[in-house]
């Protein structure tokens, strides 16, 4: 396999992976260091693990639309503002066509490097117990995160936990997803014990035990292991320092680069403008930011008569007056039904914090996700400093509610979902009096309104078994037609064509390649 085989045993990756994406990545490696000469002290152990975080900053992961291509697009929340990204959104995916090869490569680079680090960290008495535990815990967590994405997107995938010889790596068959996930749950249980409970100062952005518990809960949820899901969620809710913020909009406030963390965030990928490396900032925000060439509505109209400024010139001047700009790509905008406030409860405060259709007094041509945009010029195009929030506490409450309902019905599930709804409604609108099925179906919408455009919707629809029905019935814009193309096998991606060409054994257990042949 091309990407798995791309091993550089002289760790030139260290010169690539340590840099200014997160506060703890702002260290400079002075030389290239071979594996045999590494892991001799605490600093080297942390530098190695920083390399795993660095891969999370790749465009194929969290930096740009990377993972969002397959977690956000192709559902009922997000679509492009024009005829772009059609292969993915319109389900024109095939071997060699939007098959996620870059995502596959990045995930296996994490697996490969993390496995190497774990081997070198285990029992290494050159490293202090505290740092050894932290580095091991982080390596276990980030490797599990990679296998989470691999098994979500491709199902059965090649699997290894120790770095294998090149010929073995290059001939691996696909391994049962359920067995991979079982191992990852065990690893995350161990990571929970090893990792610290909090991070602060220069360690902000590093994984804590609560990140490990959340990822473990996600594995259990996706595998419909309701009791285990509930156990992990309760542990996070009851024992972690994380709390729901009182203001929904504040959860996503990224306007102050020096104050971008909050108590609701459990794990984030931290991007920094103008870091040491050119990809230190994120360009994902640009997908959610408007293009001024599109805005506002009736942009060429001159409201004050002939010879006076157009509406777009007036909007630009008003933006510049508050040091803002609309310099994004506009690729990721709400689909019409989500943007229509009549499809939300009229008292749901999350609508205005999530969707924007008017700005600075100008009606916009398209709706946008207010929760994901940032127009400040201090966060420039393709170099934004926002945190990508991977896990947050409100999701944990909703997961606990769903698990409790599936086990025992809604009676004891109400307090979890109502805790999230307390800040969402004024006056409060708690749930009550539902059957188990009514609660289950209400959760379909509750997770959409609370978590939309955060990377969970498509996998939620898949695990509920309703992706095809939803995609076929939701309204899309004229340039998109996913309803005409989506098939049952689209719940997974095909194993990338380049990988199959190098390793035909990937088809041994499934000659159909997830139904694409």
Cα maximum dimension of the chain: 79
Q: Which of 331, 342, 343 is nearest to 368 (CA)?
A: 331
- Which residue shows structure tokens 């030139």? 12
Question: Quick check: 219 and 181 in contact, CB under 8 A?
Answer: yes
- Whether residue 154 is contained in a domain is answered as no
* Sign of the torsion angle spanned by Cα atoms 67, 212, 3, 55: positive
Q: What is the pLDDT of residue 379?
A: 78
Number of domains in the chain: 1
Inside any domain, residue 235:
no
Query: At residue 267, does pLDDT exceed 90?
Result: yes
CA 176 → CA 83, 105, 146, 181, 474, distances in Å? 37, 19, 16, 9, 33
pTM given for the model:
0.93
Residue 45 lies in a domain: no
Pair of tokens at residue 428 = 């409060």
Does residue 398 form part of some domain?
A: no
**What mean pLDDT is predicted for residues 316-323?**
97
Average pLDDT over residues 253-275: 87
Where are the alpha helices (H) located in 90-154, listed in sequence order? 101-121, 129-154
Structure token digits, residue 124: 């290494």
Q: Has residue 297 been placed in a domain?
A: yes
What residue numbers bound the domain in which 347 lies?
284-384
> At 2, is the pLDDT very low, low, confident or very high (cuts 50, 70, 90)?
very low
DSSP state of 209: H
- Is residue 372 a part of any domain in this protein? yes
E strand or H helix at 391, and its extent? Answer: strand 387-392
The answer, yes or no, to whether residue 26 has pLDDT greater than 90, is no
Under a CB-based contact definition with an 8 Å cutoff, are residues 439 and 445 in contact? no
Residue-level pLDDT at 168: 92
Query: What does the pLDDT average to over 451-470?
Result: 98
**Residue 39 domain-assigned (yes or no):** no
- Residues with Cβ within 8 Å of residue 469, at least 6 apart in sequence: none
In which residue are the tokens 């926002």 written? 386
Q: What pLDDT digit, counting tens, does each position of 167-221 carry?
A: 899 999 999 999 999 999 999 999 999 999 999 998 999 999 999 999 999 999 9
Contact 405, 443 (CB under 8 A): yes
Q: What band does 259 get if pLDDT is binned at 50, 70 and 90?
A: confident
Is 370 a member of any domain?
A: yes
């Amino acid at each position: 396999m091309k990407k798995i085989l791309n091993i550089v045993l002289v760790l030139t990756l260290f010169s690539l992976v340590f840099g200014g994406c997160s506060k703890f990545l702002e260290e400079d490696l002075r030389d290239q260091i071979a594996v045999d000469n590494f892991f001799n002290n605490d600093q080297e152990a942390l530098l190695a693990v920083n390399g795993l975080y660095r891969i999370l900053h790749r465009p194929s992961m969290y930096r740009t639309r990377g993972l969002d291509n397959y977690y956000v697009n192709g559902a009922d929340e997000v679509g492009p503002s024009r005829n772009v990204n059609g292969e993915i959104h319109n389900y024109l995916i095939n071997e060699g066509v939007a098959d996620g090869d870059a995502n596959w490569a990045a995930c296996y680079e994490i697996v490969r490097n993390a496995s190497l680090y774990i081997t070198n960290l285990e029992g290494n008495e050159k490293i202090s117990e505290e740092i050894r535990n932290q580095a091991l815990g982080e390596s276990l967590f980030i490797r599990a995160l990679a296998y989470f994405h691999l098994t979500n997107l491709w199902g059965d995938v090649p699997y290894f936990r120790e770095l294998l010889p090149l010929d073995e790596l290059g001939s691996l068959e696909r391994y049962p997803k359920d067995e991979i996930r079982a191992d990852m749950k065990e690893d995350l249980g161990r990571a929970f014990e090893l990792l610290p409970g909090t991070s602060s100062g220069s360690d902000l952005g590093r994984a804590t035990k609560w990140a490990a518990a959340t990822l473990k809960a996600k594995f259990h949820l996706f595998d419909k292991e309701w009791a285990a899901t509930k156990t992990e969620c309760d542990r996070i809710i009851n024992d972690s320092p994380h709390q729901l913020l009182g203001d929904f909009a504040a959860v996503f406030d990224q306007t102050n680069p020096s104050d971008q963390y909050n108590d609701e965030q459990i794990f984030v990928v931290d991007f920094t403008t103008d870091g040491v490396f050119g990809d230190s900032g994120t360009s994902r925000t640009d997908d959610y930011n408007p293009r001024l060439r599109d805005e506002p509505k009736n942009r060429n109209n001159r409201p004050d008569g002939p010879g006076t400024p157009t509406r777009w010139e007036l909007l630009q001047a008003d933006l510049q007056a508050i040091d803002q700009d609309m310099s994004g790509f506009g690729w990721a905008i709400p689909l019409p039904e989500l943007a229509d406030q009549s499809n939300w409860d009229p008292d749901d405060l999350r609508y205005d914090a999530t969707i924007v259709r008017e700005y600075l007094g100008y009606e916009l041509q398209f709706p946008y996700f207010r929760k994901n945009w940032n127009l400040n010029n201090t966060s420039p195009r393709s170099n934004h400093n926002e945190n990508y929030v991977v896990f947050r506490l409100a999701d944990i409450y909703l997961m606990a509610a769903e698990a409790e309902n599936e086990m025992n019905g809604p009676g004891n599930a109400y307090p979890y979902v109502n805790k999230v709804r307390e800040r969402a409604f004024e006056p409060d609108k708690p749930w009550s009096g539902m059957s188990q099925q009514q609660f289950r179906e209400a959760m379909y919408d509750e997770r959409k309104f609370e978590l939309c455009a955060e990377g969970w919707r498509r996998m939620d629809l898949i695990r509920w078994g309703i992706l095809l029905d939803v995609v076929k019935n939701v309204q899309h814009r004229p340039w998109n037609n996913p309803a005409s193309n989506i098939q049952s096998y689209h719940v997974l991606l095909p194993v990338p064509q380049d990988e199959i060409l190098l390793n035909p054994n990937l088809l041994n257990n499934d000659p159909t390649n997830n139904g694409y042949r």
